[in-house]
Amino acid sequence: MKTAADNTAQTVPERLRSSFVMKCGGSTLAALPDSFFDDLVHLQRDGRQPVIVHGGGPAISDTLTKLGIETEFVNGLRRTTEEVLDVVEMVLAGSINKQIVRRIMVRGGKAVGLSGADGSLIQAQPVANRAEVGWVGDVTAVNAELIGGIVDMGYMPVIAPVGIDAGGQRYNINADTAAGAVASHIGVSRMIVVTDVPGIMRNVDGVKQVLPLVTVQDIEDMIGTGEIYGGMIPKVRAAVACIHGEVREVVIVDGTEPQVLSRVLNGENIGTRIART
């Protein structure tokens, strides 16, 4: 069955086909070396325009704590009241987004920071369990023309996952959901998820080795057997969440690897590739 993302992806500007979408958590991006941003800038100058979607959960939690605002999670989603939403927007579209833009510009790149509410970039509706989680949204559409216009001007879009509906209501969007939707709507088949781990690992003869290729079902099986455990579970499930619409695979890589983005885009087997089938 076709989704809105599938239909939109067929009509997006052809110029976006040479772009790629990269998703990264705000805290991970902040910890990456300057060489990572040098690689981003090199790709931009080479015509392979990055489109970045970032998160920032830990920074949101820290700010809420400092402000004395209670926060809780329901099935992995932050319960988002209007008060919490104000902080989400302030942190994601404000401090984290602009920090990323500054780091790109310092290394000689050109970037524009946006939230999904700017130009109705990420259009959203309430999630099914709205009564439990508040103003958390599902993506209904992405303004691919706006992304294309920014790319045409030679700038790298840096997108904070705050959505909006036709009535002006803001929504807190899971960053992985937002990244997958952006990738699908602009018509790319592969996403790169930058983390602080080299990929999905398995013990082989007592030695941990990175698995070059796994399927979504392999991941669930490995979680069930305990081969994927602890903090790695949310990382791989977040990557799986990016696979929908046009996106057929996600590559998990360690952002500290030298020229990791260029190497992935040039076809090198690095990190773990998660395929839909």
Separation between Cα atoms, residue 165 and residue 160, nearest integer Å: 16
Task: Tell how many helices (H) and how many strands (E) occur in the chain.
Answer: 12, 16
Q: Measure CA of the first residue to CA of the last residue in the chain; give whole Å.
A: 16
Q: Are strands 162-164 and 170-172 parallel, antiparallel or unpaired?
A: antiparallel
Burial (0-12, 13-18, 19+ Cβ within 10 Å), 14: exposed
Partners of residue 12 on adjacent β-strands: none
Is the distance from CB of 123 to CB of 142 less than 8 angstroms? yes
188's tokens: 């790319």
Is the distance from CB of 92 to CB of 119 less than 8 angstroms? no
Check the annotation: does 78 bind a ligand: yes
Check the annotation: does 230 bind a ligand: no
Q: What residue numbers does the annotated binding site cover?
A: 56-57, 78, 172
Q: What residue numbers does the annotated binding site for substrate cover?
A: 56-57, 78, 172
